[in-house]
Amino acid sequence: MTNYVIPAAPQVSVPVLGTDARFPVQRIYCVGRNYVEHAQEMGFTGREPPFFFIKPANTVVVVDAGVTATVPYPPLTKDYQHEIELVVCIGKGGKNIAVADAKYHIYGYAVGFDMTRRDLQTEQKKLGRPWCIGKSFDHASPIGPITPAAQVGSLDNAEIFVQVAGKDRQRSTISKLIWNVSEVIAHISNAWELQAGDLIYTGTPAGVAAVAVGDTMHGHVDGLTDIAVKVVA
């Protein structure tokens, strides 16, 4: 046992369907503007190369199956928004991974929210500053149970949506990803050596919108476990 001078943080982990064993989280990669309509609502064409940002592992909020998790309304923002995303869980690391080989690096998939302090992100964009304060805050990365890839059929045409109070906020299909899952893995692995335990939030469709204290977000991707997350004071 290593003797630490301060308490070591616990390993962040996510439940996996069908087993008591958990998935240990390393880095969280997020893809920016990866659906055309969302890129357009953010003021872009949707034709740019993929780009990425990173959130710390300890921004994860585990959402267990059938349970409504809670997230505190974060400080400093007046425009706290949901982004529903397909999350890819890397089971085998690597660098310069070929698109054709990317599937061999996937452990499984989950439904997640890339929560965003949009007003702060927008301000940082205008100033040419990093997005950290808009994206990488505490509790910013809710994620549901992971379904192992072997148990997931093709997600290519899966529907993805988030509802608040029974009404659609975002709805699309995974087929509308500008850069598909394999391409995203290939691109990231050219810039970083992917590690087993990395999560990739693959981007969000159009319809990002604000939530308030008391709202519950219901997230869905066909073939995966739904998530429910309530915003609390």
String of DSSP letters for 196-233: TT-EEE----S--EE--TT-EEEEEETTS--EEEEEE-
Q: Does 114 bind Mn ion (CB under 5 A)?
A: yes
Provide the 10 A C-beta neighbour count for residue 32. 18
Nearer to Mn ion, 202 or 225 (CB): 202
Nearer to Mn ion, 170 or 204 (CB): 204
Cβ–Cβ < 8 Å for 231, 80:
yes
6: Cβ contacts below 8 Å, ≥ 6 apart: none
Nearer to Mn ion, 23 or 29 (CB): 29
Nearer to Mn ion, 114 or 198 (CB): 114
Q: Does 198 bind Mn ion (CB under 5 A)?
A: no
Q: Segment near Mn ion (CB under 5 A), from 49-57, 81-89, 144-152, 165-173?
A: 81-89
d(CA 20, CA 54): 28
Helix (H) or strand (E) holding 107: strand 106-113
Phi-psi region of 4 (alpha: psi -120 to 50; beta: other; left: phi over 0): beta
Q: Does 204 bind Mn ion (CB under 5 A)?
A: yes
Cβ–Cβ < 8 Å for 113, 217:
yes
Q: Does 81 bind Mn ion (CB under 5 A)?
A: no
Q: Segment near Mn ion (CB under 5 A), from 53-61, 157-165, 185-193, 199-207?
A: 199-207
Q: Closest approach of Cβ 163 to Mn ion, in Å?
A: 18
| Residue length of the chain | 233
3-class DSSP state of 143: strand
Q: Closest approach of Cβ 94 to Mn ion, in Å?
A: 24
Q: Segment near Mn ion (CB under 5 A), from 3-11, 14-22, 45-53, 82-90?
A: 82-90
Q: Segment near Mn ion (CB under 5 A), from 70-78, 145-153, 177-185, 201-209?
A: 201-209
* List 61, 83, 152, 225, residue binding Mn ion (CB under 5 A): 83
Minimal CB distance residue for Mn ion: 114
Point out which residues bind Mn ion (CB under 5 A). 83, 114, 204
